[in-house]
Structure 1
């Protein structure tokens, strides 16, 4: 056994990505006890920082210890009781994930589907809400499997008009695309660190509106600081998961500090630094940087003669889908790019498996040199693999995007 020694990869896929160096530094910090005042102060700081990240005033804003999927599961299993109706609009792989988790909670799951590469219009979702009459609308904002970004700004008002709770997972899109929790009237949002926030997978920030919290709280009873695990409300169903019970996690992060788990301190330090990196640079500047990098990458692949996938008016800024040319083996190109240039780009899933590459520009890697290095390397590998490409046009097109911005 030897010390860790990983190759110096440039992660230009749909995530995970290379971390901001400052995040890695923060995560090397020595530990203190979970109830040490220094630790609880940092927990409070994290709550305050992520209210700014989510653009919300929600008191209940904190971290779920686990990957972004842990946040999704916590939100869904804590709000849905067996038999509750939930509507899941699906436009990619991760909509199917929301539906599966809701099914495991024994909810009455209803889905509508858009072709991969497209998104839903608000009126399509409202029509389904009128028909289904769900307790919860659960939808992904950005789905990296298709690179599409679902507009959310009108959905909150639709949900309020029909007395529906509104949950979204924004793991792939937060910090690289606009997100306004309060303005859009979103009741619950979960994310991960490993995309535009520039951290590692392993912590799932969450924020919840008061109306969402009230629904979760109804499923538990607290008396004199001791939870009565046998109490059942009129509906008779307590949250089936202990680890993902948001009512218990709220008490752990709240003033009561009721023991639920031991906080993953190293991940908290990393999550804190991710938020600080975003807020110190400035949210608008970070959004602009992601859009610039995404526009440059898109211009580059188009100038190379490659065809981008999907409705470009609704693509995420931070990842582009690229149709694999017929004359090459997509996996062979990815392998050569990885082995020769240490650059990773992504493949896709389901109906898009083997049909598109997904090239990300997010977090620490949403920068000019990473974009240009990826385009130049991809052009070289494709050319040597038999593709006839216009030499240098990709770099020129990408550089023009950057020059036009100056």
Structure 2
């Protein structure tokens, strides 16, 4: 059977419609993993992502796999059984960090905020003093609630208390400000499928010198394959594929074989970063801010209520409370069936209660925003909701005209 995916405008919380330039890059010819051309592409990709992450970290690489592969690689490579980990939780993906840390054998404490809010840094510092963790692990932008956690103060707290700081910025990178070095972030992992405008399957990752030293202290030595003389001082990292020590050696100057690089995904990651930097990192963040502000104004122009603390909302996704007059999944189905537009539901306590509408990457465009709002107005009216005629599009256009 020939694959013939239908056309979709993916306006949910991710994945999004990939930029055509990225898809074209993925169709380029394959080369061997140790071909000088390939290693040159790897070096170039590292250089691009240092700019995306705003870091000087030499250890800036791709983890082959979805964004979750890099999350798990970071946690299992930093955390040994019995280590204390603190996770600020304000949505589903904070709970994911808790689960992964516990699977790594950590003693995990949490500091939680109600869904729709972010965690007060003062509460984080209080928990750091009480729990004395080795690692604080936090999500920057949690798409389940659309909240964006401020990080600069948490970075200062971790530095004061000599605690490592890991950040999952999958949903926020290049759509919201992220400053790895300025904010003292030790490890940051992301994915391509949101604001970077690519497909899921490659996870850019950056590691500070301080975090790399912790990882290297657990380095596994493979008899006959590795040249390291030192035995690990900590427990051996529990995963082979997600062992950051080996991944960093593979991407380093010695190119110690660990796996076969996913060539087409490297092409995608390279092109995602190249497009962002060609347009300008600050300009890309601003494009997401404007598109998000237009979508926010548009749903409010339709008389819909926005979920959560708008002051801490991510630029690139908005959660809209479902009106009492309609069935949430029926509206989503009509958007898909009649207009080929996908919007998202949410998880846990928000499932069926909110729709999540994204403006990310290639879809952070004026036409995509206006088309989605026009279609949503039509579907809501068809399902019995009283909405102002043209209210969404008109409100969004005012944002674009400002």
Q: Normalising to structure 2: TM-score of the pair?
A: 0.98
SS in 2 for 1:118: coil
Shift of 1:4: 1.6
Question: Does the 8 Å contact 1:170/1:191 carry over to 2?
Answer: yes
SS in 2 for 1:189: strand
SS in 2 for 1:268: helix
Change (3 A) 1:340 1:231: same
Q: 1:308 aligns with which of 302, 306, 309?
A: 306
Change (3 A) 1:345 1:221: closer
Question: Does the 8 Å contact 2:221/2:228 carry over to 1?
Answer: no
Q: 1:70-89 alignment to 2 at 5 Å?
A: 70-89=69-88
Per the alignment, residue 259 of structure 1 pairs with 257
Per the alignment, residue 365 of structure 2 pairs with 367
**CA–CA distance in 2 between the matches of 1:384 and 1:165?**
52
SS in 1 for 2:205: strand
**CA–CA distance in 2 between the matches of 1:62 and 1:248?**
12
Q: In the alignment, does 2:388 pair up with 1:390?
A: yes
Shift of 1:234: 4.2
Shift of 1:113: 1.1
Per the alignment, residue 195 of structure 1 pairs with 194
Question: Does the 8 Å contact 1:319/1:361 carry over to 2?
Answer: yes
Per the alignment, residue 55 of structure 2 pairs with 56
Q: In the alignment, does 2:308 pair up with 1:319?
A: no
Q: 1:178-217 alignment to 2 at 5 Å?
A: 178-217=177-216
Q: 1:339 aligns with which of 325, 332, 337?
A: 337
**CA–CA distance in 1 between the matches of 2:155 and 2:117?**
20
Shift of 1:153: 1.0
Question: Does the 8 Å contact 1:66/1:203 carry over to 2?
Answer: yes
Per the alignment, residue 327 of structure 2 pairs with 329
Shift of 1:224: 11
Shift of 1:233: 3.8
Q: In the alignment, does 2:138 pair up with 1:125?
A: no
**CA–CA distance in 1 between the matches of 2:229 and 2:237?**
11
**CA–CA distance in 2 between the matches of 1:349 and 1:201?**
20
Q: Let me know the Cα RMSD of the aligned residues.
A: 1.5
SS in 1 for 2:86: strand
Q: In the alignment, does 2:16 pair up with 1:22?
A: no
Shift of 1:227: 3.4
After the TM superposition, which parts of structure 1 deviate over 3 Å for at least 4 consecutive aligned residues? 221-235
Per the alignment, residue 116 of structure 1 pairs with 115
Matched positions, count: 402
Change (3 A) 1:225 1:51: farther
**CA–CA distance in 1 between the matches of 2:222 and 2:101?**
30
**CA–CA distance in 2 between the matches of 1:253 and 1:97?**
28
Per the alignment, residue 103 of structure 1 pairs with 102
Question: Does the 8 Å contact 1:321/1:357 carry over to 2?
Answer: yes
Question: Does the 8 Å contact 2:220/2:236 carry over to 1?
Answer: no
Post-superposition Cα deviations, 1:243-288, rounded to whole Å, max 9, x if no partner, equal 0111111111011111100000000000000000100000111111
Q: Normalising to structure 1: TM-score of the pair?
A: 0.97
Post-superposition Cα deviations, 1:129-164, rounded to whole Å, max 9, x if no partner, equal 000000000000000000000000111111011010
Q: 1:285 aligns with which of 265, 283, 286?
A: 283
Question: Does the 8 Å contact 1:221/1:228 carry over to 2?
Answer: no
